[in-house]
Structure 1
Amino acid sequence: MSSGRNTVMVYLCVIGALVLAGLIAFAPRAIWLSVIAFAAVIVLIALGRFGRFGWRHWSAKAPVQPEPVYEPPPPPPIAPREQRIDQVPLPSQEADYDFLFSAVVLWTPVHPLWNERQVNLAALAVDAILTRAREVTERREPGRAPLVAHELGGILGTMQKDPTGHVLAMAESVQVTLSTQDQERLDKLAEVRKDQVVWEHGRKYEQSKREYLGEDVLKDTGSAVVWWLVKNDDQVEKTVSDIGLLATLSSAANNKTVPAGTDYLVDSKSSMNGASPVDDLAAFLHSLDLDGERDLFAHQIALLVRNYGRPEVAEEIVRRFDLTEPDPEKPEQPWNDET
């Protein structure tokens, strides 16, 4: 449509020019001047319409390209600088036990400075890394130095600004150790704690066994007889032969005299199963599993037997268990669960 309009405008201009030339050549001057004025008005109107529509159409078809803006290339990245720190003491969870911290500190300035002599960026970077490391070590046990080293390697492995905002810092090749003296002390303390736990368990086991014997098995003669019967697989005959010994043991455990009617069963003759009272005593002590208290227990039994008028049995007990001869003038306190 625009091309047709332009063609019509060309034709009109040509025809107008021919008409104007004819009027100038053959018409009177007043007529062709009037025609020229009228033609000029028509041309101006046509030019105005062309300017509104034709120019817009042309500008839409062929937009003016803006000139490219020059952008300078970005500056090359600044290579991080290094600062080595070695064996710096950092506090641990325990007083007087310091970690020894070593690492390579990598840092770069946040903003280029005209004169870096005005700010010690390396010192700011090292201080930032030590501050971040201390926040971790002061909450860790000194005996976990290798684990703390791995933890700090991850925490300090990212660039972060220091508190002043002048430098970015991180750390690599992190090492955390203890001094040789502190490590030896911790090893000794750990060994003592382990031994203490073992000893405490042994003490509780011994105490439990003594309570069991004193408050249950040897509470009275009847309890001792029933327990002995179970231990000997229901051998009634053997248990009957050991009643006197059981009564003596029960009385000794409870710091009482032997009940009437059972003291005659303790003598130096062979029991009903062919074993002597000392043999029965040895078997009984073996079943109790008294360990280090066996000799004390046997010594007290020998004293009781001597006090009840059986010195020969007491002497046999002393010989059998390789004990010191009991002194009847200085009787020892019988054993019970409270000693």
Structure 2
Amino acid sequence: MARGFFAKFLATAEPYVMPPTWQGRIENVPVRSATQDYHFWFSCTVLHQLTHPGAQAHPAPLEAAKHGILRQVMPVAAAVELTGGAALQAQLATQLGVPCHELNGQLRVWATDVVVSVDDADLQAVHQRHDLQRKLQVWQHEKEMERRECEFTAEMLTDPNRAVAWWLSRNPQQVAQAVGMIEPIARLSAAIHGPAEAPAEVSAEDQLLAAAEQLFAELDEWNRPLLGDQLAKTLATFGHADLAARLRDRLDAQGLAT
């Protein structure tokens, strides 16, 4: 009984008819690449089917299908440098070969015969620009190394003895030669940085004051002024009243002056 029912159902059911496939071409449409001011040329065969043939059709289904394909292509191409055209073509051929739906599912769209091309002149210009950029980077690196070497040499020559010691550390067997380098390096240092400044002369009075401060530094606040006053009186006795006053200032003994 069941077998008869299914036989009757199949006999009365309408056979499924595949919707027709329509196609058109996209020819040499420029699509932006990741390389500034340069683009790819994109071509393909666009295929589309109406998913609901009985429904109200779009007035321009082929143009809608082309628009859908280009909408997929553009963001992918924009992430690829101009030199990557072959890889881009393979990627797009794979991606566009999978049907997608447009017009809210009314249109089934895919593409074949995908071709991505690049103008030879553009490709040559991009290669030349890359070569120039690499050469510029090498040149900048070399200039930076030269600058650092000059700075290091100038720094080493601020102290001739240090420069000779540095050279000797790298040539430990050349002691005699290192000794002979001291005077020439000193002259070279003077030529680069100017003659070394002579240490400022310290007067005998200032030396005495500094020595007294150092000598009395560990005394307490009572003994330091007392001893300072005694030393100041001795200085004043021998005609150094100004120096005695300065000493009292240094040792907090002003109140003991008579």
Does the aligned pair in 1 maintain the 2:40–2:117 contact within 8 Å? yes
Show the counterpart of 1:326. Answer: none
Where does the alignment leave 5 or more consecutive residues of structure 2 unmatched? 199-258
Q: Tell me: CA distance 1:101–1:242, structure 2 relative to 1, closer, same or farther (3 Å).
A: same
Residues 147-162 of structure 1 correspond to what in structure 2 (within 5 A)? Answer: 147-162=87-102
Q: Of Structure 1 and Structure 2, which has the larger fraction of its residues in strand? A: 2
Partner in structure 2 of residue 92 of structure 1: 33
CA distance in 2, matches of 1:229, 1:102: 70
- In the aligned structure 2, how far is the partner of 1:158 from the partner of 1:228? 70
Quote how far apart the aligned CAs of 1:222 are.
0.7
Residue aligned with 1:187, SS = helix
* Structure 1 pair 225–120 and aligned structure 2 pair: CA distance change class (3 A): closer
- Work out the CA distance in 2 between the residues paired with 1:202 and 1:96: 30
Q: 1:246 to 1:177 in 2, by over 3 A?
A: same
State the distance in 1 between where 2:149 and 2:43 align: 54
CA distance in 1, matches of 2:54, 2:82: 41
Partner of 2:195: 256
CA distance in structure 2 between the partners assigned to 1:194 and 1:66 by the alignment:
79
Q: Which residue is equivalent to 1:101?
A: 42
Q: TM-score, normalised by structure 2?
A: 0.64
CA distance in 2, matches of 1:120, 1:245: 90
2:53 counterpart SS class? coil
Cα drift, residue 112 of structure 1: 2.4
Given that residues 248 and 258 in structure 1 are in contact (C-alpha distance below 8 angstroms), is that contact kept between their aligned partners in structure 2? no
**Structure 1 residue aligned with 2:139:** 199
- In structure 2, relative to structure 1, the CA distance for the partners of 1:235 and 1:136 (3 Å cut) is closer
Following the alignment from structure 2 to structure 1, what is the Cα–Cα distance between the partners of residues 126 and 86? 14
Cα displacement string for residues 113-140 of structure 1 (whole angstroms, at most 9, x for unaligned residues): 5998x73332222222112212322344
Q: 1:103 to 1:253 in 2, by over 3 A?
A: same
Q: Answer yes or no: is the 8 Å Cα contact 1:121–1:166 preserved in 2.
A: no
Assess, with a 3 A threshold, how the Cα gap between structure 1 residues 127 and 232 changes in structure 2: closer, same or farther. closer
CA contact (8 A) 2:48 2:65 kept: yes
Which position in structure 2 is the counterpart of 1:240? 179
Q: 1:12-91, aligned counterparts within 5 Å? A: 68-69=8-9, 70-72=11-13, 74-78=15-19, 80-91=21-32
- For the aligned residue pairs, the C-alpha RMSD in angstroms reads 3.1
**Separation in 2, partners of 1:238, 1:165:** 89
- Shift of the 174–255 alpha-carbon distance from structure 1 to 2, 3 Å rule, reads farther
Aligned residues: 195
Question: How many Å separate the matches in 1 of 2:129 and 2:102?
Answer: 39
How has the CA–CA distance of structure 1 residues 214 and 89 changed in structure 2, closer, same or farther, with 3 Å as cutoff?
A: same
**Deviation digits for residues 22-47 of structure 1, max 9, x if unmatched?**
xxxxxxxxxxxxxxxxxxxxxxxxxx
Taking a change above 3 Å as real, the CA distance of residues 226 and 95 of structure 1, as seen in their structure-2 partners, is closer
Distance 1:80 1:229, change over 3 A: same
In 1, Cα distance between equivalents of 2:92 and 2:81: 14
Normalising by structure 1, we get a TM-score of 0.50
Deviates more, 1:186-195 or 1:161-170: 161-170
SS state at 1:175 partner: strand
> Does 2:100 correspond to 1:169?
no
TM superposition shift of 1:195: 0.8
Q: Which has the larger radius of gyration?
A: 1
Larger mean Cα displacement after TM superposition, 236-245 or 71-80: 71-80
Match of 2:73 in 1: 133
What one-letter code is carried by the residue in structure 2 that aligns with 1:223?
R
Structure-2 separation of matches of 1:103 and 1:181: 23
> Identity of paired residues, percent?
26
Unaligned residue ranges in structure 1 (runs of 5+) = 1-61, 260-339
Deviation at 1:170, TM superposition (A): 0.5
Provide closer, same or farther for how the CA distance between residues 256 and 122 of structure 1 changes in structure 2, counting only shifts above 3 A: same
